[in-house]
Structures are given as C-alpha cells and as structure tokens.
Chains A and B, each alone.
Chain A
Amino acid sequence: MSGAIIEIALNAAIFSMFFAMISSELMAASAIVFRYEESTSKVFKFLVPIWEVTGTFFVFYAVNIEALVPDALPFIAFTFTPYILVFLILYVGRNSAIISAEYIWRNRIISKKMLYRVYAVITYILGLMILIIFTAVISGAGVGFSNNSFNLFSFISFIPDDGFIIGSAVILFGLASVFYDLRVRDYLPIAVIIVGMLVAGPSLLAMHDLTDKYLLIPAAVLTIAPAVLRIFPKYRFIASSKLLIQGFLASSSFLIIFSLYPWLLGRSLKITTLLNSSVMQQQIFYTTIIGGILLLMLTIVFFRVFSHVSQRGMGA
C-alpha cells in the first residue's frame, strides 16, 4: 500500500506543479485584460518564456494519469469527450495566439494587444475547464462513473461546485498583483484572497467529506503568505520571487489534493482500486525520479538565467 501512496503522491505533485504553472498564466491573463500597459513591462518578460513549459506540464500530467490509473481511461474518454475535444481546439488556439502575439508585425488589422487578449480569454476558458473537471472529480456531482456520463447541469446545480470554482478564481485574481508586482494597494490582494478563501474553503468542505481537513490550514497559509509578506519591506523580496510563489501555490494545491486521499467523486470511488500493476508503478517511480532530477536542474538553470536577466534589465 505504501507504494500506492507514493505513486498517488507523485501524481498529486505533478498536478500541483501543473496547477502552479497554469495559475501563473491565469494571473497573467487577468493582468493582460485589466492592465495591459503595465503587463508589457511586468508580465511578458515572465510569460513569454514559460508558456511553452506549462503545456509540457499538462502533457506530463496527462501521461502520468494514463500510467497511474489505466482502467479509468475509458471513463475519462467517454465521459468528458466533448470537453476534451473543445479543450484541445482551444489549446492549439492559445499557442497560436501567443506565438503570433510575440512575432506579429505592424499592420492595420491585427495588433499585438489584440492577440494577447485573445490568448488571455482562451486561457481563462481553459482554466475554467480544468477547474470544472477537477471539481467534478472531487465532488462527483453530475458524474456517473458506472455509466460513463457527465451532466453539466447537475454539476452546476450543486452550489458547492460553483463556490469552489468561483473562490479559486478570486484567489488567483488576488494573487495576480502579487505575482506580477502590479501597482495596487498592499492590502487589496490580501482582502481579495481572503474573500476567495471564504468562498472556496467552505465549498470544498461541502463538496467532499475530506479525509484530513486540517491539511487545509497550511494550504491556506501558503496561499496567502506571499500577499502578506509583500506588506513588509524586509520580506518583500520573498514575495517577489516567482519561483517561491509558484512553490507555495504548488504546495498548497498538493495539500488540498492529499486531504482527499484516497477518495474521489465525493467518497464514492477509491483511487487505490484503479491503480496500475506494481511492476509498472515501480518503473514509473524510477523514471519520475530520474526525469525529475533532470527537470529540477533545468528549472534551476531557467530561474537563474531569468533572475540574472531581470537584474540586468534585459528583456526576454
């Protein structure tokens, strides 16, 4: 059983990293939509190099799910087919929009700003779709595991689902100004994040009878910490470290996922009953460790270069 916990923890960790990456894009999308001019100096130098890596994390998570719970694949495929295919179209659209925004030449019809806004809107929708599927898997509302069905109306009708999605979106909106150091009053991000937590937290508790609800406390602390640290000049450098904020977000997300363990779909499905064979789990574990070291090294190099370039004031 301990092997199963490790495999599931790895999967949760990969999702958490992906979530941290897509969150930084969702926050960028907020900045682009509401403060485009400020984004050009503060958001793009981070967003432009990393959006490709977010996509890679998505693939990483998708492959890890395939390896972790192969028997769940027909369920996912049949239940979420329309959502997955729409997601794919939007995903290609997102990549096309942002790469076009990077290199678009001066012309009368399409502008850089317009393309970035298209990217931002698509990213919002993608983020919403990810949150819908994630929330559905937690609460089980609208999901028929035995007959491979998903009823969006039933899902939306279950208020805690809506609360969790809205609350999460509000938290990310509040964090955006911290992450990208946008010019807003210091207390505002804290207030927005607290509002988000007050909506998302109780919703999560109502969605699922958590195995360990106390894990939500450190998760909440990690989420709000960057906004609080930003107030104190002495600790502001911590709040301005993107790697650190992403680490906080990933850890927070990991704790939330692990508070459910081993139950999904509102305690109606035990994930351990779907796991791959132990021999495959062992190989996946070794590969993840070796690949993880490579990934860690690459990430360190990237953030080292990024911070040096930021200090020197060179653009990406």
Chain B
Amino acid sequence: MGLSVIGFDRFLMGFTLGAHILIVTLSISLSLIVSIAEFLAIRKKDPHYEVLSRRLAKALVIFFAVGTASGTVLAVELFTLWPTFMVLIAKVDILPFYYEVFAFFLEAISLVLYVYYWDYFRNRYHHWLLSLFVAIGTVMSAVFITMINAFMNTPSGFNIPAYLASNGSVLIGINPLAAVASPSAFVEVSHVVTATLTAGSFALLTYLAVNYYRSKSAEARDVYRKGINITAIVAFVSIILAGISGDASMRMLMSLQPLKYAAIELNFFHSQANAPELLGGIMINGKPAYYISLPGVQSIIAFLSFNSAQKVPGLLDYPSSLWPPLFVHLTFDTMVGGGILLGLFSLFLFYKVARKRNISGRFMYYGMITAGILAEIIYDAGWVTDEVGRQPWIIYNVMTVNSAANTSPSVIPLGIGIIIFYLIVVPFTFYFTARVLKNESVERQISEVRNRL
C-alpha cells in the first residue's frame, strides 16, 4: 500500500505542476508584454498599443487569479505530500519561499492597482510603473521558486555527511544563505526564467496570430499585428538566452550531477572521451536501441574541442539501482530538437517583424500556432527531464522520494478530486479568458481610447 500511495503522490504532484505550468508561463510573458505595450502606448501616443495592453492585462488578471490558486495548491501539496522533505527544506532552505511571498505581494497588489484603477492615474508613467512592478514580482517569484529546485538538485548550506551518517537525525552547520545560493542556482534560474518566457511568449503568439488572421477590420488587425511584433521580439531574445543557459546547464550537470547527465544523454558506457551523441533511442533488454549515433559529437559539444581527452560521464560508472528512468533521454531530445526548430522559426519571424515584412499567409499562420503548441510541449519536456532525471532522489544524494512521502491513504480520494477539478478548471480558464476578450469589441475599445487621448 505504501508504495502505491507514494506513486499516487508523485502523480498528483506532477499533474498539479503540469497544470500550473500551463498557466504561469502565460502569466510571466503576459506581465512583460503588457508592460512593453503600455510603455509604447504612452511614448507613441498610440491607441493600438493602449488597447493591446488593456486587453492583455485583463487576460493577465484572470490567469493570475487561477495561477495563484494553483500555486497555493502546489505550496500546500509540498508539505502535505512530502512532509519529510519539507521539514528539511524548512530547516535549511526556506528563505527562497519566504522571499517569494514578498515578490507575490508585489505582484498581487501592483496588479490590483494596475488593472482596477487604470484611469485613476493622471501621470500615465506612474501607472506604467505598476506594470513594471507586476513584471518584476512575477519574474522574481519564478526566480525564488527555481532556487528551491536548484537546492534539490545541488543541496548545500548544511553538513551533508553528518546528516547522512545520522540517518537524517543530525542537522548541523546550517547556513541558510549558502543554501539559497546553491551551486546550480544561477544557471538553473537563468535557464528556467528564459525558457518560461519563451514558452509563454510563443503561447501568446498563438492567440495573437489567430486573432490577427480572423480580424475583419484593419484597426483590429493593427492591434494584433503590434502585439505579434512585441511578442516575436521577446520570444526571439528569450529563446536565444534559453539556448545559451541550457548549454551552461548541461556543462554544470556534467560536474555536479554526472549520473543525471549520463542518463539524459543515454551514455550506456563507462565515462569516456570522444563520446557519440545519440539521437533518439530506448532501452530494450537492458541496452539502447533505435537511435542514430553521431560519433564524437557529444564530446565536441561538451568540451568545444575536436580532440579533447576529457571524458563525459557514463551510466555504467554507477549502480543501476540509482539510475533514473531512462526515458528522460527522449524528453531531453524533445526539448533540444524542438527548441532548435522553434529557434529557427523565431529567427525567421524576427526577420519578418524587424524588416516590417508581410506576415500574412498560411505558412506564418500555421507556423505561429504550431510554435505555441510546440513551445509548451518543449517546456514540459524540459521539466520532466529535470525532475525525472533526479530520481530516485527528491534531494540529490541526500533524500529519496520514497523516504519523503506522505503514505497516508487518505491522500488518494481527495487527490483524485483535485485532479478532476483541475481537468475542469484549466480548460475553463483558457476558454473563459478567450471569451471575455472576444466579447469586448476591439474597434469600440480603440474609439474609447482615442476619445481619452
């Protein structure tokens, strides 16, 4: 019974995270794009940008409402499903959670003032400043939460040997600030923030593209075209940064989490130089199959050298009982391969936008829609790689998932309730937001804004 409850705990946590991710990626990119749009509206006295920021702010507040609720569900699930884990976190690395609360306050109160008192501010830059605070609060929330994840991957800030030797009963040498700045924190935060912005921007691009092509009036098309311009630039910059930080993440894994690195590269050998890069591949009868091998390429990418004598980690250096599920290689390939495709499309779109070229046509239309869907798949694949790649540990080399879990069977019926509830709430949120925006005529909003200007 114990193991099945643990399995359920894992599923429930993964499911809630997956649902939460869908909402927060959009919240983060929306907060930034709303701020840019309003800034341009004020600078250029452009009613199209003004309408765009007002419409997207409305979407932001809806996503924020549901996102904060699902974020709270996650926060409470953490100590309900993984009490032993949270005890250690609370004693060593609770500060990022604590910092996040204040980022959350900054975001919540600024957003309330920003959306509900839009026309109160005589100086428009004061109002715009609020949007900046919303964006800062949103991004900082992501930063602090990722710091916790970085601690899970590379724990620090306490005497780990003493903790392990005492079977978890002796916790000494606690340094909360060292735990906050765990070895992987900077690189992981960089990658997560840029990847989140990428996924959210492409998802938003899908919405803008659909409305751009469906709009019947030139005015409405102008609003959405300007939205596409801003979002395409944000997406392009963020995907480049995500690529650079992703590369840094892999290098960091090699030194700090070599087994995870070996698993996601499917390195079915002892550590070796001149290692091949495997594209695809699954384990059949204990060996990799159905893959394309590119000889030496992994070492070239890893060490940026054609004849490096340095070795990449291999799975066979570790007992198989400690290996994570090896399907993480496929999720990793999905992330990298999809990311490259997305990057190429983003470059093309950026070129079109920068040169003020026509973006009408089926290729661009379906391209933007596909990119939005692909971005979410890639983003989720990235998180699965990170989380499943750390298994069986919840805190790498310190605490296993099994030892951290709540094994009370009472979790199951109510957990199922939460899952069903999410299956209703998340699609409803997207439908509701789209419907609210659809009900409000762009043309009427433009004429209202013109009257105010």
Interface residues of A (CB under 8 A from B): 48-50, 52-53, 55-56, 58-60, 62-64, 66-67, 70-71, 73-74, 76-78, 81-82, 84-89, 91-96, 98-100, 103, 105, 276-277, 279-280, 283-284, 287-288, 290-291, 294-295, 298-299, 301-302, 305, 308-309, 314, 316
Contacts and interface: CB of A to CB of B under 8 A. Distances in A.
Given A100-B432, A103-B432, A56 B101 contact: yes
Nearest to B81: A77
Nearest to A92: B69
Give the bracket for the number of chain B residues in contact with chain A.
Answer: 35 or more
A288 B75 CA distance: 19
16 contacts: A49-B117, A59-B68, A60-B104, A67-B97, A70-B91, A76-B83, A77-B80, A78-B408, A86-B414, A89-B417, A91-B73, A92-B425, A103-B436, A298-B109, A302-B109, A305-B120
Contacts of B417: 85-86, 89
Contact of A62 (B70, B76, B84, B428): B76
Contacts of A71: 87
B412 to A, nearest CB: 10
A77 B439 contact: no
From B71, B176, B408, name the one whose CB has the most chain A CB atoms within 10 angstroms: B176
Interface stretch (B59-67, B194-202, B301-309): B59-67
A280 B157 CA distance: 11
Nearest to A291: B102
Given A279-B174, A287-B98, A294-B106, A305 B113 contact: yes
A283 B76 contact: no
B330 interface: no
Contact of A67 (B90, B109, B410): B90
Contacts of A78: 83, 406, 408
Contacts of B90: 66-67, 70, 73, 276
Given A70-B90, A95-B69, A284 B418 contact: no
Contact residues of B: prevailing secondary structure: helix
B69 A314 contact: no
A309 B120 contact: yes
Given A77-B79, A91-B73, A63 B109 contact: no
B176 A81 contact: no
B72 A58 contact: yes
A96 B429 contact: yes
A71 to B, nearest CB: 6
Given A49-B113, A99-B65, A294-B105, 9 more contacts: A52-B111, A63-B97, A66-B89, A85-B80, A87-B76, A96-B428, A279-B176, A290-B102, A316-B117
Given A63-B94, A291-B102, A309 B117 contact: yes
Contacts of B76: 62, 84, 87-88
A191 to B, nearest CB: 35
Contact of B68 (A56, A64, A85): A56
A73 B406 contact: no
B289 interface: no
From A53, A78, A85, name the one whose CB has the most chain B CB atoms within 10 angstroms: A85
A316 B116 contact: yes
Nearest to B173: A279
A62 B75 contact: yes
Nearest to A288: B98
A96 B101 contact: no
A88 B65 contact: no
B447 interface: no
B287 interface: no
A99 B77 contact: no
B241 interface: no
A314 B119 contact: yes
A226 B97 CA distance: 36
B112 A52 contact: yes
Given A279-B176, A302-B113, A52 B120 contact: no
A81 B406 contact: yes
A247 B451 CA distance: 41
Contact of A287 (B95, B110, B436): B95
A74 to B, nearest CB: 4
Nearest to A89: B421
Contacts of B429: 96
B109 A48 contact: no
A263 B112 CA distance: 38
